Structure 1
Amino acid sequence: MSADNKQLMRDIFAELAKGNGKPFVDSMADDFSWTIAGTSPWSRTWRGKQSVMDELMRPLFARFADTYTNQAQRFIAEGEYVVVECRGKVMTKSGKPYNNSYCYICRLADGKLRDLTEYMDTELASAALGAP
């Protein structure tokens, strides 16, 4: 199980490194939830794939001037969890670089992403992106 989950995340991040987020979106279960840890304006939990797409992804990507890429440095897998240490890179429409480091804790089941908890530099997100 953990080897399959780890390979799925490797495949997803191989595409994210090229700016292709489709495999990531396609892997989300309908009841997928995404939590951004912390106390920033971006910190909260979105429940349901549609909520993640409409309330997190769409407003976030609307701020980007060019293609967002995310390069994974490390994958650690145990059971249904895969931890991904990665670095995103993009220029915002306001001319500020948004190059953040992340730790994603992903729970997978039946070949689908069920939950993701994101740890990042929330101060950088607020400075570069403003409030959601």
Structure 2
Amino acid sequence: MSRVVNAFYEAIRTGDSPVLDSLIADHFCLICPTRDHVLSGVYEGKQRFFEEVTPHVFGCANPDEITFCAEHQVIVDAGEIVVAMAQNNGLAHSGERYDQLYVHIFKIRDGQIQALIECFDTALANRALWGNSNNLEPDSPAALSNLALFKGA
């Protein structure tokens, strides 16, 4: 399933929305295992991901000054579960470098990403990317029990 993950990162890197859309399942869920940050908890549904989550992230950076997921490496490909790391390269609107590192755990089935656990440096994101942005209300708060959504995806 590394090919799906590689295609995901390439779509993020190049801004290829149609490809990204084709890779995300309708019942997709994003799990950010943090609390009290701009992105914390569980965000459910492909529509919510594209209409609320991605604009909240990409809207805080000028695409001419940053490349999201500029580099990535797959760490483990265990079939339906793929673990990877990625790194941004560039500046946020704040003028601060936003060379964020991510750890991503993907759940993939039928060629689509069903669920994604995203771990990142929240202090860097809050300082460089989001500043005074409002928190995006999750569908459910971060908790270990969120893994049931990932496992069931």
What TM-score, normalized by structure 2, do the two folds share?
0.74
Q: How far 1:92 moved relative to its partner?
A: 1.6
Aligned to 1:81: 81
Task: List alignment gaps of at least 5 residues for structure 2.
Answer: 136-153
More off after superposition, 45-54 vs 60-69: 60-69
User: Is the Cα contact below 8 Å between 2:2 and 2:74 reproduced in 1?
Assistant: no
Q: How far 1:37 moved relative to its partner?
A: 1.5
**Matching of residue 25 in structure 1 with residue 25 in structure 2:** no
Aligned to 2:9: 13
What TM-score, normalized by structure 1, do the two folds share?
0.84
Q: How many residue pairs are counted as aligned between the two chains?
A: 127
Pick closer, same or farther for the CA change 1:36–1:90 going to 2, 3 Å.
farther
C-alpha distance in 2 between matches for 1:30 and 1:14: 20
Supply the AA of the counterpart residue of 2:15: N
Percent sequence identity over matched residues? 23
Alignment map for 1:61-72 (pairs within 5 Å)? 61-67=58-64, 68-70=67-69, 71-72=71-72
User: Is the Cα contact below 8 Å between 1:66 and 1:91 reproduced in 2?
Assistant: no
Supply the AA of the counterpart residue of 1:111: G
C-alpha distance in 1 between matches for 2:83 and 2:27: 20
User: Is the Cα contact below 8 Å between 1:66 and 1:92 reproduced in 2?
Assistant: no
Task: List alignment gaps of at least 5 residues for structure 1.
Answer: none
Q: Which of structure 1's runs of 4+ aligned residues deviate more than 4 A?
A: none
C-alpha distance in 2 between matches for 1:29 and 1:101: 24
Q: Could you say what the CA RMSD is over the residues aligned between the two structures, in angstroms?
A: 1.8
C-alpha distance in 1 between matches for 2:93 and 2:102: 21
